[in-house]
A = this chain, B = another copy of it.
Amino acid sequence: MSVEKVKVYKDLMGENEKWAAETRKLLSGKNVRMINVIGSPGSGKTSLLERMVRDLGDKCAFAVLEGDVETTADADRIAALNITASQLLTGGACHLEAKLVYYALRDLPLDDLDMVVVENVGNLVCPAEFDIGEHAKIAVLSVTEGEDKPSKYPLLFHESSAVVLTKTDLLPYLDFDKAECLRHIEKVNPNIPVFEISSKTGDGVENWIEWVMSERHAGLVRNPN
């Protein structure tokens, strides 16, 4: 990392953190909690959100903010399930920044909501560096990505409040060593809960939904590390 780059990111962070603080103030005033879902492209983030709409939608009033570089495909998928969904397009950038999230939140009916779920741009690196004012980050990792990703991309797993291990229906067809993956996760974040789920079959989704509900009631602990 060049010297210029470190300086630049510090400047950006200052601006970003002002907006993140504004967002937390806005959400606190409305008693709304926000989670920031982060994972690789195609790791199953949107499918997880579709499951959450189906299984959580009647217990908790929530809206979805979909972050992408291009297209409204993901917001369209969520909106098709009759839940409020907005698409945040970064126009080339590899992560969501707090200012864009803040303005999207201002347009949501926050008085009627318990929670906002943000799906960040598909990327294991940059989104973890940018606070968007969330109360908890959730790391999504699919079993097709291999066991070692938590060690290779440690910041996200260190900063997150839970890991959702997706696509477990594919385990019979993969050389995936789950115990090894859990060791990689434990190395960067010893006490983080890990939820193994298949959005396709529904396996494990109930445990995940229960955790979200109980954490929501407890107010969600931000960045517990």
A-side interface residues toward B, CB under 8 Å? Answer: 1-2, 4-5, 8, 11-12, 15, 40-43, 68-71, 73, 90-94, 97, 99, 121-126, 129, 142, 144-146, 148-149, 151-155, 167, 169-170, 173-174
B12 near A152 with CB under 8 A, answer: no
Q: Contact check: which of B15, B71, B122 meets A2 at CB < 8 Å? A: B15
B145 near A123 with CB under 8 A, answer: no
User: Could you say which residues of chain B place their CB within 8 Å of the CB of A94?
Assistant: 94, 123, 125-126
With A70-B154, A94-B94, A122-B153 known, 20 other A-B pairs at CB within 8 A are A2-B99, A4-B11, A4-B15, A5-B93, A40-B41, A40-B42, A41-B124, A41-B149, A41-B153, A42-B144, A42-B149, A70-B151, A73-B148, A73-B152, A92-B129, A92-B155, A94-B126, A121-B125, A123-B126, A170-B174
Q: How many copies of the chain does the oligomer comprise?
A: 2
B73 near A151 with CB under 8 A, answer: yes
A153 near B40 with CB under 8 A, answer: no
User: Could you say which residues of chain B place their CB within 8 Å of the CB of A12?
Assistant: 2, 4-5, 8
- The smallest C-beta distance from A45 to any residue of chain B, in angstroms, reads 11
What would be 15 A-B contacts, judged by CB atoms less than 8 Å apart?
A2-B12, A2-B15, A8-B8, A40-B40, A40-B41, A40-B145, A41-B153, A42-B142, A69-B152, A69-B155, A73-B151, A94-B94, A121-B125, A123-B125, A144-B167
A5 to B97, CA, bound (A): 11
The 9 closest A-B pairs by CB, nearest first: A42-B145, A94-B125, A144-B144, A40-B41, A40-B40, A42-B146, A8-B8, A94-B126, A1-B91
User: Could you say which residues of chain B place their CB within 8 Å of the CB of A70?
Assistant: 151-154
- The smallest C-beta distance from A203 to any residue of chain B, in angstroms, reads 15
A20 to B155, CA, bound (A): 29
Q: Which residue of B lies closest to A121 (CB)?
A: B125
A149 to B15, CA, bound (A): 30
